[in-house]
Amino acid sequence: AQSVSQHNHHVILSEAASLELGCNYSYGGTVNLFWYVQYPGQHLQLLLKYFSGDPLVKGIKGFEAEFIKSKFSFNLRKPSVQWSDTAEYFCAVNAVSSASKIIFGSGTRLSIRP
Amino acid sequence: NAGVMQNPRHLVRRRGQEARLRCSPMKGHSHVYWYRQLPEEGLKFMVYLQKENIIDESGMPKERFSAEFPKEGPSILRIQQVVRGDSAAYFCASSPGGTGGEYEQYFGPGTRLTVT
């Protein structure tokens, strides 16, 4: 069965610090990969996605993620965070060969100190 | 182009009552997905529907829960005889395609169900 692990439950950073949120998945086949963000009081928004091609994916708001197939990882990065990045971040995977349900990680809460 | 619409945004039910959650997909989308988010947890897949068909209901509890996506009108997630453990946020998502395609899912704002 597919699963997604997010290693950090809560990350606290100061503004301008660099960010890396870990994500590993377990599935042997071809996958689509996503990072979603949920700002306080708002619904899920797609930050970035990987379907195929260049494993380094650029998303909105300066975020990027790198798909490393050999490590089953899809870590999210941002070189310099802002207070407005305070939110919950979810890594997710969808197996291309199966019905299109998305499997989500448990989420990482990011708190940015101004 | 309006996004995915869900209503109500907040729903309070007493134990034993029925809860009906509605989801209108984005225009042009014929695939709908329901997810549940329990407190302090990530979203868990419940069911995947196309118009008039349930494609994958592997995440649905075996009893009390049902979903439909009729030819006309919104998708409905129905919970009969609610219990306190059903309290959660229920999210609907839609996409223009399904299996095997490079389709992302667009999420609605969710319905927060509270069972008292």
User: Mean pLDDT for chain B?
Assistant: 91
- 3-state SS, chain A, equals CCEEECCCCEEEEECCCCEEECCEEECCCCEEEEEEEECCCCCCEEEEEECCCCCEEECHHHCEEEEEHHHCEEEEEECCCCHHHCEEEEEEEEECCCCCCCEECCCEEEEEEC
Answer whether residue B99 shows pLDDT above 60: no
Furthest CA-CA distance within chain B? 41
Q: Regarding predicted confidence, which is higher, B40 or B92?
A: B92
CB pairs under 8 A between A and B: 63
pLDDT above 90: residue B66: yes
Chain B residue at shortest CA distance from A91: B42
CB B44 within 8 A of CB B35: yes
Chain A interface test: which of B4, B37, B45 (most A C-beta within 10 Å): B45
Question: Across A3-12, B13-22, B52-61, which has the greatest mean pLDDT?
Answer: B13-22
Facing residue for B55 by CB, picked from A36, A90, A99: A99
| Residue A7 pLDDT greater than 80, yes or no | yes
Residue A98 to residues A29, B56, B66, B80, Cα–Cα distance (Å): 10, 10, 22, 29
Helix spans in chain B (H): none
Query: What are the residues facing A14 on neighbouring strands?
Result: A113
Task: Report d(CA A107, CA A87) in Å as an integer.
Answer: 10
Backbone φ and ψ for B88, nearest 5 degrees, come out as -175, 175
Q: Which residues pair with A95 in a beta bridge?
A: A31
**For residue A104, pLDDT beyond 70:** yes
Tell me whether A102 touches chain B (CB under 8 Å). Answer: yes
Per residue in A55-64, pLDDT (tens digit) is 999 999 999 9
Q: Is B101 in a helix, a strand, or coil?
A: coil
A32 at interface of B, judged by CB pairs closer than 8 A:
yes
Tally Cβ neighbours within 10 Å of residue B31. Answer: 23
Peptide bond before B8: cis, by omega within 30 degrees of 0? Answer: yes
Q: How confident is the model at residue B26 (pLDDT cuts 50, 70, 90)?
A: very high
Mean pLDDT score, B24-37? 93
**pLDDT higher than 60, residue B1:** no
β-strands A31-38, A87-95: how paired? Answer: antiparallel
Instruction: Tell which residue, A3, A57, A53, has the closest CA to residue A34.
Output: A57
Q: Is B25 on the interface with A (CB under 8 A)?
A: no
* Interface mutation vs chain A, best among B55, B107, B112, most A CBs within 10 Å: B107
Q: What is the pLDDT of residue B97?
A: 73
Confidence of residue B98 (pLDDT cuts 50, 70, 90): low
- What type of residue is B52? E
Q: Are B55 and B36 in contact (CB under 8 A)?
A: no
Instruction: Give the other-Cβ count within 10 Å of A94's Cβ.
Output: 25
